[in-house]
Amino acid sequence: MNNRDPFLHRYFPWLLLAGILLNIPGLWLDIIEPDGALYATIAKHIVLHNDWVNLYGDGHDWLDKPHFPFWMAAISYKVFGITGFAYKLPAFLFWLLSLCYTYLIARDLYNVDVAKIAVLIYTVALHSTLANFDVRAEPYLTACITGAAWHMLRVHARGHWSHIIWAALFAACAIMTKGVFVLITLAGGWVIYWIITKQFREFIQYRWWLVLALCFVFILPELYSLYVQFDLHPEKVVFGRTNVSGLRFFFWDSQFGRFFNTGPIKGSGNVTFFLHTTLWAFLPWSVGLVGAIGYLLRYEKNRDSIRWVIYGSTLVTFLLFSLSKFQLPHYLVIEFPYFSIITAYFFTELARRSKLNYLVTIQTVLLVITLVFISGLLYITRIENGIAAVAVALGIVFTANIIRYRNPMQQLLFKGYAMAAMLYIFLFQFFYPFLLQYQSGMQAARVIPEKDSHLPVAAYGSFSYSFEFYSPGEVKLIRNGEYLDDFIDAAPCYLYTTAAVADSLIRSGVDAEVQASPKHFHVTRLKYGFLDEKKRSAVVEPRYLLYIRDEPTL
Q: DSSP for 331-394, please give it.
A: GGGGGHHHHHHHHHHHHHHHHHTT--HHHHHHHHHHHHHHHHHHHHHHHHHT-TTHHHHHHHHH
Q: Residues 148, 152, 158, CA angle at the centre, nearest 5°?
A: 150
- Mean pLDDT along residues 481-501: 89
Residue 371: pLDDT over 60: yes
Residue 400: pLDDT over 50: yes
Confidence of residue 552 (pLDDT cuts 50, 70, 90): very low
Q: What is the predicted pLDDT for the residue at 501?
A: 93
Separation of alpha carbons 271 and 267, rounded Å: 13
Separation of alpha carbons 48 and 453, rounded Å: 12
Separation of alpha carbons 231 and 247, rounded Å: 7
Q: What is the predicted pLDDT for the residue at 1?
A: 41
- For the chain, how far is it from start to end, CA to CA, in angstroms? 83
Confidence of residue 441 (pLDDT cuts 50, 70, 90): very high
Q: Name beta bridge partners: 478.
A: 460
Separation of alpha carbons 344 and 338, rounded Å: 10
Q: What is the predicted pLDDT for the residue at 490?
A: 82
Q: What is the predicted pLDDT for the residue at 230?
A: 94
pLDDT greater at residue 326 or residue 60: 60
Give the residue among 313, 276, 262, 295 at the shortest CA–CA distance from 148: 313
Separation of alpha carbons 39 and 524, rounded Å: 16
Confidence of residue 412 (pLDDT cuts 50, 70, 90): very high
Amino acid at position 457, single letter: V
Return left, alpha or beta for 354; rule: phi > 0 is left, psi -120 to 50 is alpha, else beta: left
Instruction: Look at residue 179 and give its three-state secondary structure.
Output: coil
Separation of alpha carbons 117 and 124, rounded Å: 12
Instruction: Look at residue 493 and give its three-state secondary structure.
Output: strand
Amino acid at position 133, single letter: F
Q: What is the predicted pLDDT for the residue at 551?
A: 61
Widest CA span of the chain, in angstroms? 85
Amino acid at position 264, single letter: P
How much is the mean pLDDT over the chain? 91
Among the ranges given (68-77, 111-120, 145-154, 503-512), the one the predictor scored with the smallest mean pLDDT:
503-512
- Mean pLDDT along residues 328-356: 92
Separation of alpha carbons 477 and 480, rounded Å: 9
Q: What is the predicted pLDDT for the residue at 481?
A: 79
Residue 357: pLDDT over 60: yes
Separation of alpha carbons 426 and 420, rounded Å: 10
Q: What is the predicted pLDDT for the residue at 524?
A: 87
Among the ranges given (208-212, 301-305, 366-370), the one the predictor scored with the smallest mean pLDDT:
301-305
- Mean pLDDT along residues 77-101: 97
* Signed CA dihedral, 115, 121, 123, 125: sign only: negative
Q: Name beta bridge partners: 498.
A: 543
Q: Name beta bridge partners: 545.
A: 496, 516
| Percent of the chain residues topping a pLDDT of 90 | 72
pLDDT digit string, tens, across residues 254-296: 776 666 656 566 556 678 888 999 999 999 999 999 999 999 9
Return left, alpha or beta for 383; rule: phi > 0 is left, psi -120 to 50 is alpha, else beta: beta
Give the residue among 97, 253, 229, 234 at the shortest CA–CA distance from 174: 97
Virtual torsion, Cα 275, 280, 281, 287, nearest 10 deg: 80
Give the residue among 190, 211, 199, 176 at the shortest CA–CA distance from 315: 190
Are the beta carbons of 546 and 514 closer than 8 angstroms?
A: yes
Q: What is the predicted pLDDT for the residue at 254?
A: 78
pLDDT greater at residue 479 or residue 1: 479
Backbone φ and ψ for 379, nearest 5 degrees, come out as -65, -40
Separation of alpha carbons 42 and 51, rounded Å: 11
- Mean pLDDT along residues 399-410: 87
The per-residue b/e assignment along 416-437, b for 16 or more CB within 10 angstroms, e otherwise, is: bbbbbbbbbbbbbebbbbbbbe
Amino acid at position 404, single letter: R
Separation of alpha carbons 380 and 368, rounded Å: 19
- Mean pLDDT along residues 2-21: 84
Q: Give Cα 35 to chain centroid, integer Å.
A: 10
Confidence of residue 491 (pLDDT cuts 50, 70, 90): confident
Residue 55: pLDDT over 70: yes
Q: Name beta bridge partners: 496.
A: 459, 545
- Mean pLDDT along residues 435-459: 92
Separation of alpha carbons 370 and 393, rounded Å: 9
Separation of alpha carbons 110 and 496, rounded Å: 56
Separation of alpha carbons 276 and 281, rounded Å: 9
Give the residue among 523, 474, 472, 464 at the shortest CA–CA distance from 496: 464
Residue 183: pLDDT over 90: yes
- Mean pLDDT along residues 485-513: 90
Are the beta carbons of 330 and 132 closer than 8 angstroms?
A: no
Separation of alpha carbons 92 and 135, rounded Å: 9
Q: What is the predicted pLDDT for the residue at 553?
A: 46
**Which residues touch 394 (CB under 8 Å, ≥6 apart)?**
371
Separation of alpha carbons 129 and 27, rounded Å: 11
Residue 232: pLDDT over 70: yes
Residue 238: pLDDT over 80: yes
Model's pTM, two decimal places?
0.93
Q: What is the predicted pLDDT for the residue at 397?
A: 92
Residue 405: pLDDT over 90: no
Q: Which helix (H) or strand (E) holds 8?
A: helix 6-23
Separation of alpha carbons 334 and 184, rounded Å: 13
Instruction: Look at residue 326 and give its three-state secondary structure.
Output: coil
Give the long-range contacts of residues 480-485, CB within 8 A, separation 24 or more. 484/458, 484/460
Separation of alpha carbons 254 and 180, rounded Å: 9
Separation of alpha carbons 303 and 312, rounded Å: 11
| Percent of the chain residues topping a pLDDT of 70 | 95
